[in-house]
């Protein structure tokens, strides 16, 4: 009986240590559903009720990392935002995409993805995994 009680306590502690993270991602809609074309770094937040803060953080990352949704913007590694997105799409068997608007979504604590209100300034077109302006 003590062993069962100890296992229950350990399980409860493990569940309580789940990270409370905000995740941001850029998606396009294809016939089969949504394809995530860009991940942003996860952000630790105090609890899973900070949806407004999560959405604001995602908007800030979108503006800073993509120059507010400009797919021709050159990132720090010399590749464009659009090329990063085409690379990610190609890894998911979507080397040929577009034209598609890119939408920013966020989620808290692995909950449902919610639209952040941000859309790319230009459309995403990938040909053989290579970004091309539409």
pLDDT in tens, 93-133: 999 999 999 999 999 999 999 999 999 999 999 999 999 98
pLDDT in tens, 66-91: 999 999 999 999 999 999 999 999 99
Q: Decide: 125 and 132 in contact? Cβ < 8 Å.
A: yes
pTM of the shown model: 0.82
Best CA proximity match to 96, nearest among 38, 28, 40, 39? 28
């Amino acid at each position: 009986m003590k062993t069962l009680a100890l296992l229950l306590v350990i399980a409860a502690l493990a569940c309580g240590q789940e990270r409370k993270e905000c995740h941001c991602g850029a998606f396009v809609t294809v016939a089969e559903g949504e394809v995530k074309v860009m991940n942003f770094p996860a952000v630790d937040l105090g609890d899973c009720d900070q949806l407004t803060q999560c959405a604001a953080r995602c908007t800030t990352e979108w503006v800073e990392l993509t120059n507010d949704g400009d797919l021709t913007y050159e990132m720090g590694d010399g590749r464009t935002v659009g090329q990063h997105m085409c690379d990610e799409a190609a890894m998911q068997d979507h080397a040929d995409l577009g034209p598609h608007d890119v939408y920013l979504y966020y989620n808290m604590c692995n909950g449902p993805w919610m639209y952040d209100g941000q859309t790319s300034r230009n459309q995403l077109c990938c040909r053989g995994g290579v970004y091309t302006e539409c």
